[in-house]
Amino acid sequence: MINPHFRKFLEQFPDLDEAQIEILAEHIPHREFKKGSLLQKPGEVPQECYQVVQGLLREYRWEDGKDRTLAFYDEQKGTVSSEYFVSESPAESYLECLEDSLLIVGTKEIDAANFEKFPILAEISFRMMELDRNAQKKDFSNFVGAVPIERYRLFLKNRPGLIQRVPLHQIASYLGMTAESLSRIRKRMST
């Protein structure tokens, strides 16, 4: 029996017919992780990469004794940054489940075997990574030139669902401001 969330995820790709969905569901490794699970730690070389099917992950690091949020990964933007996995280098950040999550779990061996066996899977993976990369570039260029209130407005526009799912201090960290500054911005915007 295919997990209904995993089925819904696969059904979003119009290139896949029902038979392909059934076959891929059997061959694509996916696992459930509990809230608080650490999937990556600094200094460790990741052996797996992830795609969020359902749930929420946060990538962060400690800088000058402060928790600095680098990214949020959810059903909307689910391709987890895999630079350490690809380069086989030690991670410089943590990757934590903020919610119970269903993730596609890839390894180099499994990915290579599945791409060879199912060429359409390689095409889909490439398209997903390309879309995420382009979205990240756009978000970054908008972010760099924006003052704090504009950053928050962009966040609300581009990731509206996260405001209910992520603690405000983590959103503030992601936006490059203190929780107090974000509170002042939110108060100003509500008046």
Residues 159 and 86 in one domain: no
CA dihedral 80, 86, 91, 96 (to 10 degrees): 20
* Rounded Cα gap, residues 40 and 52, in angstroms: 15
Residues 129 and 151 in one domain: no
Residues 81 and 149 in one domain: no
Residues 50 and 74 in one domain: yes
Pick the last residue of a domain from 99, 122, 139: 139
Residue 125's domain comprises 4-139
111: left (phi over 0), alpha (psi -120 to 50) or beta: alpha
The number of folded domains in the chain is 2
In one-letter notation, the amino acid at residue 170 is Q
Q: pLDDT tens digits for 48-87?
A: 999 999 999 999 999 999 999 999 999 888 778 678 888 9
Residues 168 and 99 in one domain: no
Residues 176 and 127 in one domain: no
Mean residue pLDDT of the chain comes to: 89
User: For tokens 């029902």, what's the residue?
Assistant: 18
The rounded percent of the chain whose pLDDT value lies above 90 is: 52
Q: pLDDT tens digits for 103-121?
A: 999 888 988 888 888 888 8
pLDDT greater at residue 3 or residue 139: 3
Residues 129 and 191 in one domain: no
Residues 69 and 15 in one domain: yes
The pLDDT score that the predictor gives to residue 81 is 67
Residues 168 and 129 in one domain: no
Helices 179-190 and 148-158 cross at an angle (nearest 10°) of: 80
Pick the last residue of a domain from 139, 157, 181: 139
Residues 35 and 94 in one domain: yes
Residues 134 and 162 in one domain: no
Which domain CATH number covers 132? 2.60.120.10
What lies within 8 Å, CB to CB, of 68 at 6+ separation is 60, 61, 62, 173
Pick the last residue of a domain from 102, 122, 139: 139
Any bridge partners for residue 58, and if so which? 72, 96
Residues 14 and 35 in one domain: yes
Q: Nearest Cα to 104, choosing from 126, 79, 123, 84? A: 79
Length of the chain: 191
What lies within 8 Å, CB to CB, of 67 at 6+ separation is 60, 170, 173
